[in-house]
Amino acid sequence: MRLQRGLIFALGASVVAGACASAGTTAGASAAPGGAVAGAFPTVTCPAGVSVTPSAAAQTAAKSLLLNRTQDAVTGAQAAVTAEEANPQHQYLLGRAQAAAGNVEGAVAAWNRAVQLCPAFSSEIAADRDRLWATAFQAGMDAYQKNDTAAAVAAWQRANMVSSARPDATFNLGVVYWQRGDIPRATQAYRQTLEILGKLPADTSAAEMAQRAEMRQNAYSGLLGAGARSFQSEQYDTAASIFRYITTADPNNRDAWYNYALAMYKMQRWTDLIPVAQRVATIDPLNQNAQIILFNAFKESKQNEQALKVLTNVDALPVYVDEVRIETPESGPGRLTGKVTGNKAAAGAPVNLTFTFWGPSGNVGTQSVTVNAPAKGASANFQVPLPQGATVSSFSYTYR
C-alpha cells in the first residue's frame, strides 16, 4: 500500500485574492439605484415583484463595511433585513458583512437566502464565496502547521460550510481523523473526497489535473489505511466494507481486492469470498497466498472439484511472486519491487512478467521484466521501473 504524502497545501487557481469584488454588471429590468456607496449593490435581473432597491439603512451599513467598521455593518445589515427580509440586496450585504466579521455560518445563510430570492445573485456571490472559503481553508493550514488540530478541523469544517464542491478541506479532515484514529470519520471524509473529485469538470490546467490525481490516489491510500486499522482491530466487517468500496470505485486496485479477500476469509464468508479471491488471483496470478485463499473458499463451500483444480494449479506455477510494492521516492524515478521464489520451473529458466500499471484514471502503461527462476524454495528480488510522468496507484500482471 502506498503511503499518503500529506495534505494538499495549494489553494485552487479559482480562488480570488484581495478585497471584496466590485458589483456585477448583469443587465436587468430592476437596477439598483445610485447611492453614496458606489458599486456596493450589484445590478441584477430578478423575478418580477422582487424588490432590489437598498434601503437607507442598507446604504449606511454598506458605508460602514467600506470603512471597515465591521460590527456596525453587521448591525445595520441585520436591521435592513429585519425591515425588508425579502430584499436580496439586503441579504447579499448581510452576507458580506458577516463574512468580514468572520461569521461563516451567518454569511452562508444570508447568501443562500439572497440566491433563493433572486437566482441571479449566485454569480455575484461566487467571488465572495471563493475568498471566504480560501480564508477558512488557510486558517486550517496555519493551525495544522502549529499542531493545533482542533482549530484546523474547525476551520476546514467552516470551509466546507462555504463550499461543499471543493475536495481540499474534506481531504485534509480525513488526514486528521486518520491520525487521531477516528476511522469512521476518516473513512467518510475520504469517500466524500472521491465523490467530490468525481463531480468536478475537467480543468485546462495540467497542474490542477495532476493535483487532483494525486489527491484521488491519496484518498484511496487513506481508505486502505482505514481499512487496515479496522482489520487490525478485528473489525472485519468494517474493513470489508471499506475495501469493497475501493474495489467498486477503483476496480484495478490490487491491494483493496487482496485485503477485501482477507477480511472475508477472517469472517469465513466462503461463498461470498469466491469471486473476490478469483479477482485477486487474476490480478496477482503467481501469489501463492491468493491461491490458497481461493482454495479454501472453494473447499469450505463444499466445491471440492474446484478446490482441487486450484490446488493443482498452485502446485504447477513456475514461480511464486510476493512482497510486491510500488515505491515512489520524493526524488528519482519510481519503481515496482518484488520477490520471486522458485517452484516448478527449472532453476535458471526465464520467466517473463508483464506488469500493467494503473492510476486513478485507468491504465497508465506496461512494463516487462524477465527473471531467472530460482531453485525450488530459493528466492530472488526483482524490480521494474514505473512509467515516467504517470501517477501509479496499483498493478496487475501476466506471466509466461
Residue 191 belongs to domain with CATH number: 1.25.40.10
In a domain, 20, yes or no: no
Q: What is the pLDDT of residues 357-396, one digit of tens each?
A: 998 778 999 999 999 999 999 999 999 999 988 888 899 9
Does residue 108 sit in the same domain as residue 135? no
Q: Closest Cα to residue 294, out of 312, 281, 313?
A: 281
The span from the CA of 316 to the CA of 314, in Å, is 5
CA 388 to chain centre: 23
Overall domain count for the chain: 4
Provide the whole-model pTM. Answer: 0.81
User: Taking the alpha carbons of 279, 284, 286, 289 in that order, is the dihedral positive or negative?
Assistant: negative
Q: Given phi > 0 = left and psi -120 to 50 = alpha, else beta, which region is 348? A: left
- Cell 432590489: give the residue: 52
**Co-location of 379 and 328 in the same domain:** yes
Q: Is residue 124 part of a domain?
A: no
CB 270 within 8 A of CB 307: no
More confident residue, 36 or 151: 151
User: How far from 58 is each of 61, 72, 90, 93, 94, CA to CA, in Å?
Assistant: 5, 11, 6, 8, 9
Considering the domain boundaries, does residue 11 fall inside one?
no
Of 94, 119, 144, the one marking the end of a domain is 119
Give residue 202's Cα distance to chain centre: 16
Residue 164 sits in the same domain as residue 250: no
Q: Which range marks the domain in which residue 376 is found?
A: 320-399
Residues 302 and 325 in one domain: no
Question: Is 136 found in the same domain as 221?
Answer: yes
pLDDT for the residue numbered 204: 83
- pLDDT tens digits, 180-220: 999 999 999 999 999 999 999 988 888 888 889 889 989 99
Q: What is the pLDDT of residues 51-101, one digit of tens each?
A: 999 999 999 999 999 999 999 999 999 999 999 999 999 999 999 999 999
